[in-house]
């Protein structure tokens, strides 16, 4: 009989948890635990967490998670270039251009030509942009990063390998993505 997976501590692997709780003298088998369903449930929970965070962010700050990340990067130094944003976020120049236009139209970023190199555009953050950064809820990825960095090296390597494998399994390796936990297109706006 298949065991259920409801209301188990989310910080513990479900298979490990079932193994600890079990009075069986033999290891759990596929009959005992449907790993496919457990993996799909875990993926769905990750997707739901990012959806919920994105909704909260849109409601509280009027921004997408990626737009907030652009503002955070620019606010660190008070300015940035589109190239710096593209490299730091791991997205294309075209994606950054769309993000900049949206944030500029909301009055959160300004664009100026660099005085040293006229070909270079320098982005600045407006007082409204700074207020949005300060008012935004803690980013989902900040919680993830804090817990991930507390793990041992071998555990970090294992998680990275598994997540890269899942990305490959979903044919998602060529999708333009930034290190921001968000749903939908990177350059969409609410």
Element (H, E) at 109: strand 109-113
pLDDT for 60: 76
Instruction: Give the 3-state secondary structure of 111-133.
Output: EEECCCCCCCEEEEECHHHHHHH
What pLDDT tens digit does each residue of the chain (190 aa) get? 334 333 333 444 544 455 455 454 666 666 556 888 888 888 888 888 888 887 877 777 788 878 888 998 899 888 899 999 988 888 888 888 999 999 999 999 998 876 777 777 889 999 999 998 888 776 677 788 889 999 999 999 999 999 999 988 988 777 766 655 554 444 444 3
Measured distance CA(75)–CA(80) in Å, rounded: 8
CATH code for residues 14-18+25-169: 1.10.10.10
Return the domain boundaries, the chain: 14-18+25-169
- Please answer whether residues 38 and 48 qualify as being in contact, where contact means their C-beta atoms are separated by less than 8 angstroms: no
d(CA 123, CA 13): 44
Phi/psi at 110 (nearest 5 deg)?
-125, 155
Please list, residue by residue across 76-113, b when 16 or more beta carbons sit within 10 angstroms of its beta carbon and e when fewer do: eeebbbbebbbebbebeeebbebbbebbeebebbeeee
The predicted structure's pLDDT at residue 188: 45
pLDDT value at residue 2: 39
């Amino acid at each position: 009989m298949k065991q259920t997976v409801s209301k188990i501590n989310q910080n513990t692997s479900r298979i490990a948890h079932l193994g600890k709780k079990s009075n069986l003298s033999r290891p759990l088998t596929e009959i005992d635990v449907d790993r496919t369903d457990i993996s799909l449930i875990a993926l769905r929970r990750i997707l739901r967490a990012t959806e919920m965070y994105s909704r909260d962010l849109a409601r509280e700050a009027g921004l997408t998670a990626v737009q907030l990340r652009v503002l955070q990067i620019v606010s660190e130094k008070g300015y940035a270039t589109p190239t710096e944003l593209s490299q730091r976020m791991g997205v294309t120049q075209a994606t950054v251009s769309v993000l900049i236009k949206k944030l500029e139209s909301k009055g959160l970023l300004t664009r100026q030509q660099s005085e040293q190199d006229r070909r270079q555009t320098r982005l600045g953050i407006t007082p409204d942009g700074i207020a949005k950064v300060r008012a935004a809820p803690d980013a989902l990825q900040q919680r993830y990063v804090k817990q991930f960095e507390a793990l041992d090296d071998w555990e970090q390597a294992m998680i990275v390998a598994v997540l890269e494998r899942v990305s490959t399994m979903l044919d998602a390796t060529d999708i333009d993505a930034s290190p921001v936990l968000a749903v939908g297109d990177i350059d969409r706006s609410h």
